[in-house]
Amino acid sequence: MYAKPKKNWTSFLPRYKMYEAVFSDEFKKQLKKLKNKDKIMKILFIRHASTEKNYKGFMHKIGDTAGLSIDGRDQAANLIQVCLNNDVEQVFSSPERRAVETAEIIVEGINKGLEVVPDLIERNWGGWAGQSWSEVEKKLDTMNLEQRYTFVPPKGESWQQMETRLKS
């Protein structure tokens, strides 16, 4: 379901089974290879660090070439200790430049592998991509959560369609 972005750009979601269904079978196989029978698997979801577009309040498009801002690079560097504290064993990233740059900074600091996974691509906002979040928020605020979940922006995809895409 839709969740309004939080000011805190890191999310810790330790319940693997709860989120397992949104990933493709191939990605699930990759995760299972990392699973240690003696430990509970914890998955740390980290949103890409900030870009200039983020600071200006604009949404990215899929395939956007925007890289991290200077502050974004600092944010990513600060995540190194978070990953070390949580015994991160492998890093997976969306192919989006901002996500790969965030992941590369982290893996350099924790000396672990990075795998770019196309399944992790973000929601396609279609004709709404590139607009300011405040413009999009005004449109979404007229909808309840179920409507937001199934709503398809022009030439884009709904949250529901994104989940289906990730499962295939």
* pLDDT of 153 higher than 60: yes
CA atoms within 13 A on the CB side of 64: 24
pTM over 0.75: no
pLDDT digits over 33-64, tens only? 666 556 667 778 888 899 999 888 888 888 88
Which tokens in the block code for residue 123? 């929601």
- For 9-22, the pLDDT digits (tens) are 333 333 333 344 45
Residue 116 gets which letter from DSSP?
E
Q: What single-letter amino acid sits at 145?
A: L
Distance between CA atoms of residues 37 and 114, nearest Å: 22
